[in-house]
Amino acid sequence: MQSIKLASVLAAAALVAALTSTTASAASAEHGKAVFIQKGCWQCHGTQGQGAVTGPRLAPDPIPLEAIANFIRNSTGPMPPYRKAILSDADLADIYAYLQSVPKPPAVKDVPLLNQWASQPK
């Protein structure tokens, strides 16, 4: 078990190194948005990574690249792992760039439609 965990950690470290290199060179939010759609990420997370009952929110303010990359490559949960054959390191970095580019939402208080309900229970 220990050796498996160690292997996972090493693999994740190598992945992050590769991704960081890619990110630094040419990460493209625009291309990342296209890949986000093409690879099916939007299906569970929404086109802006806003989240739904089918998958958690990813953006804005995505979790650190290392964490999200590790999860994408090694998920054992309901979301299947996206390995390199399906999602290259470059594309993953572009997706991350897209998630980083998603603008912050308006504050609740600034959205009249979200102020039409009571904040306290009966």
Partner 1 sequence: MPDKSPRLAVSRRKFLGTVAVAGAASAVGDLDNKALAAAPAKAEPAKPSALPPSAKVAAAETSAPDAQAPVMGTPNSDFMVDVIKTLDIDYVAANPANSFRGLHESLLTHGGNKKPEFLTCMHEESSVAMAHGYFKVAGKPMLVLCHGTVGLQHASMAVYNAWCDQVPIVIIGGNDLDASKRPPFVPTYHSAQDIGALLRDFVKWDDMPVSAQHFAESFVRAYKLSMTPPYEPVLLSLDSDLQEEPIENRDKLTIPRYVPTSPPQGDSNAVREAARLLVQAENPVIVADRLARTPAGMGLLVELAELLNAPVVDRRSRLNMPTTHYLHQTGRGKVLVHNADVILGLELSDFYGTVNTYIDNGENTRHPKTKPGVKLISISSRDYYLKSNYQDFQRFQSVDVSIAGDAEATMPALIEAVKKALPADRKAALEKRGEAMRKAWSATRARTLQAATYAWDASPVSTARLASEVWAQIKDEDWSLVSSDRMISSWASRLWPMEKHYQFIGGPGGFGIGYGSPAAVGAALANRPHGRFSVNIQTDGDMMYAPGVLWTAAHHRIPLLNVMHNNHGYHQEVMHVQRMADRRNRPLPDGPIGTQINGPNIDYAKLAQSMGWWASGPITDPKDLAPTLKRAVEVVKTGEPALVDVYTQPR
Residues that bind partner 1 (CB under 8 A): 38-40, 42-44, 46-48, 50-54, 57, 59-60, 76-78, 80-83, 85-86, 105-108, 111, 113-114, 116-122
User: What is d(CA 75, CA 54) in angstroms, rounded to the nearest whole number?
Assistant: 15
Least distance between partner 1 and beta carbon 42 (Å): 7
Q: Which is nearer to partner 1, 21 or 47 (CB)?
A: 47
Least Å distance, CB 101 to partner 1, is: 14
**Burial tier of 78 (Cβ tally within 10 Å: 0-12, 13-18, 19+):** exposed
Please state, in angstroms and rounded to a whole number, the distance separating the CA atoms of residues 27 and 94.
5
93 vs 102, which CB is nearer to partner 1? 102
- Residue 85 CB, nearest approach to partner 1 (Å): 5
Which of 72, 77, 75 minimizes the C-alpha distance to 62? Answer: 72
Which residues make beta-bridge pairs with 52?
Answer: 55
Length of the chain: 122
CB of 50 to partner 1, least distance (A): 4
